[in-house]
Structure 1
Amino acid sequence: MVIGATGQIGRPAVAALARDGWQVTAASQSGGRAEEWPGEVRAVRLDRADGAALAEVVGEGCDVLVDIVAYDASHARQLTSLADRIGSAVVVSSVSVYEDARGCGFDTQDRPDGFPVYPVPLPETQRTVAPGERTYSTRKAALERELLAAGERLPATLLRAGAVHGPHSRVPRELYFVKRNLDRRGRRVLAYGGASRFHPASAHNLAELIRLAAARPGSRVLNACDAEAPTVAGIGAAIDAVMGAENETVLVDGPPPAPGVGDSPWAVPHSVVADMTAAERELGYRPVVGYAESLPETVAGIERRLAGRDWRAAYPKVAQAYGDLFDYAAEDAWPGA
């Protein structure tokens, strides 16, 4: 059973599990189907917040429950309450649960010098934020804590995903470069020398990790990212290659030089690069797609969604998360441009 089946991770996960021979129940709020699923996949409607509805869909039981949208301790308790009907679980978490030696994490990044300084690469043994209900990071930490405490009663693989990307993303970071190319800007500014790295995680690679974990039950946490962590300048160049665009890139040392200038969704002062050796060792994980190789379908999806629409209407969650990524007036007024 896959919860969150019609989202950007759920779509390829259901397809990968079905190809592997599983009988898959695909549960989502809409109850819809994806075109890439085989006909034998059973699609059902499910309100993830409704514990009784979840128990009804699980029914007499399932060998593996994949939860892509689990968010906090209450969701974990829903799963553990059904432990006698679930063989094992695979649950998507986030690298945002990590904190550095100073106690800094993603929740402190807006403070002066508050962005975390993680080891590179970042192992699963790195300490995590205290569990709680206050933020996305603390809720994911609480989710993990509850599920790991269940131990053998409900073996759960927790996948700490990086910057998820794919053709069905509602928050595609690649929009930053795609829209500029469509608008024929010709020049862009990148803070931190364009060297920022925030480890991406393809939806297809996450689906592969889910497929492998389903076949190898265990109580564990694993980083879940692509093989490579390209720089933001490298990402821009790769998107240019897909779109046949030529641009001048202005690199700025240090943080964004002015509001609305150089602050891309990948602009971080310190690299966030996950160590993937545990997933390779425990699951035999090998990425099924590289970042540059995955871009054509991602770019095509963004272009289709933008066609004839304001970018804020096409991607409201991007505007909510990052503000105005396309303040061209500010860019043109900046003296360094």
Structure 2
Amino acid sequence: MVVGATGQIGRAAVTALAGDGWEVTAVSRGGGRDESWPAQVRTARADREDDAALAAAVGDGCEVLVDVVAYGPAHAGQLVSLADRVGSAVVISSVSVYEDDKGRGFDTQGEPEGFPEYPVPMTEEQRTVTPGDSSYSTRKAGLERELLAAGDRLPTTLLRAGAIHGPYSPLPRELYFVKRNLDGRARRVLSYRGRSRFHTASTHNIAELIRLASLRPGSRVLNTCDPEVLTAAEIGAAIDAVMGVTTETVLLEGPPRAQSVGRTPWSTRLPVVADMSAAERELGYRPVLSYTESLPETVDWLARRLDRQDWREAFPALAGVYPDLFDYPAEDAFVNACGGGPDPGPPPQHRRTAYGLGVACGVQVTSALSSLPVSR
């Protein structure tokens, strides 16, 4: 049984499990079906906030319950209450539960000197935030604590995902580059010299770990990320390659300007990189595809969504977190103040370059960005 089956991760999980021979029941609030699922996939309607409805969907029981929409201790208690009818569980968590050795984590990023300094790469042994109800991170930590405490009553694999990407995302970070290209913006600005690294996690790779964990029940925590860790500049170059466009990149020294200029959904002062060796060791995990190999599917889905509606209507969650993600006037004003002139429009030659404006504005002149191989 997959709870949250019509969401971003759930769709891929149902596909992977059905392809592996499981009899799958896809549970969602609307009880819908993805057109790509095999005909034998059953559907059920249940709101996971409704204890009775979820219990009714479980019915006489299931061998594995996959929950991609569990967020706190109450949801953990809900799952544990079904332990007599569930063989094991696989539950999605997040790398946001980690904190550094000074007690800094995702929740302290906005504070002076509050950005966490994690080990690179970071293993599952890294300390985590104190469970609570104050934030997404503390609720996920509470979820983990309660499910791990259940032990053999409900063996649960917790998957700590990175920056999740793929079609049907409510928070598609790739939109930062895709929309600029669709809008004909030939220049973009990246903070931290485009070197930010926030480990990504493809829904296909997450689904593969769900598949493997379903075959080997146990109480464990595993990082869940892609095989490579691209920088923000490399992600932009890879998306350009998929879309067949040319751009210039302004690389800023340090943080974004005016809170929005140069800020991307991957912008971090220090790297967030997860160690994937435990998943390889414990489950024999091998990634299904790389970040760049996953991009054509994502770019196509985003382009089709934007063709029908404004980006804020299409992705309200993203607009809520990044309301100024496409503040082109602010970008142009900053570049003009540094002597760069207006956005040049699409250049005549197909090449990607890094664009320097001078150290007076905290912008460093750099060499050309190299192309990345992309599966089309």
Q: Give the TM-score range, shorter chain.
A: over 0.9
Aligned pairs for 1:1-337 within 5 A: 1-334=1-334, 335-336=337-338, 337=340
1:168 deviation in Å? 1.1
Deviations 1:308-333, CA, capped at 9 Å, x for gaps: 42211121111101121111111111
* 1:183-240 deviations in Å (ceiling 9; x for gaps): 1110111000100000000000000000000000000000000101100000000000
- Measured on the aligned residues, the alpha-carbon RMSD in Å equals 0.8
Name the TM-score, length of structure 1 as normaliser.
Answer: 0.99
C-alpha distance in 1 between matches for 2:245 and 2:313: 25
% identity of equivalent residues: 69
Counterpart CA distance in 1 for 2:260 and 2:327 is 6
1:111-141 per-position Cα deviation (integer Å, ceiling 9, x unaligned): 0111111000011000000001111000000
Count of residues paired in the alignment: 337
Report the Cα offset of residue 53 of structure 1. 1.0
8 Å contact kept, 1:97–1:137? yes
In the TM superposition, residue 44 of structure 1 has moved relative to its aligned partner by: 0.6
The one-letter code matched in structure 2 to 1:161 is A
* 2-structure distance, mates of 1:191, 1:125: 31
Unaligned 5+ runs, structure 1: none
CA contact (8 A) 1:124 1:222 kept: yes
Instruction: Please give the alpha-carbon distance, in whole angstroms, between the structure 2 residues aligned to 1:38 and 1:216.
Output: 24
Aligned letter for 2:104?
A: C
Checking the alignment, whether the CA contact within 8 Å between 1:93 and 1:160 is kept in structure 2 is: yes
Secondary structure (helix, strand or coil) at the match of 1:64 reads: strand
Deviations 1:2-29 (A, max 9, x none): 0000011111100110111110010001
Q: Distance in 1 between matches of 2:130 and 2:314?
A: 35
Could you tell me which amino acid in structure 1 is paired with residue 275 of structure 2?
D
2:8 counterpart SS class: coil
8 Å contact from structure 1 (residues 67, 90) kept in 2: yes
Give the Cα–Cα distance (whole angstroms) in 2 for the partners of residues 263 and 15 of structure 1. Answer: 35
CA distance in 1, matches of 2:42, 2:13: 14
Unaligned runs of 5+ in 2: 341-376
| Alpha-carbon shift at residue 266 of structure 1 (Å) | 0.6
TM-score, with length taken from structure 2:
0.89
Alpha-carbon distance change, 99 to 293 in structure 1, aligned in 2, over 3 angstroms: same
8 Å Cα contact 1:259/1:330 also seen in 2: no
Read off the aligned partner of 2:155 and give its amino acid letter.
Answer: P
SS in 2 for 1:123: coil
- Pairwise CA distance, 1:257: 2.6
CA distances 1:284-316 after superposition (whole Å, capped 9, x unpaired):
111101101100010011110001422111211
Give the Cα separation in 2 of the matches to 1:135 and 1:193: 30
Structure 1 window deviating more from structure 2 (305-314 vs 14-23): it is: 305-314
Query: Matches of 2:122 and 2:62 in 1, distance apart?
Result: 34
Q: Could you say which residue in structure 1 is the equivalent of 2:344?
A: none
Q: Is the 8 A contact 1:51 1:78 kept in 2?
A: yes
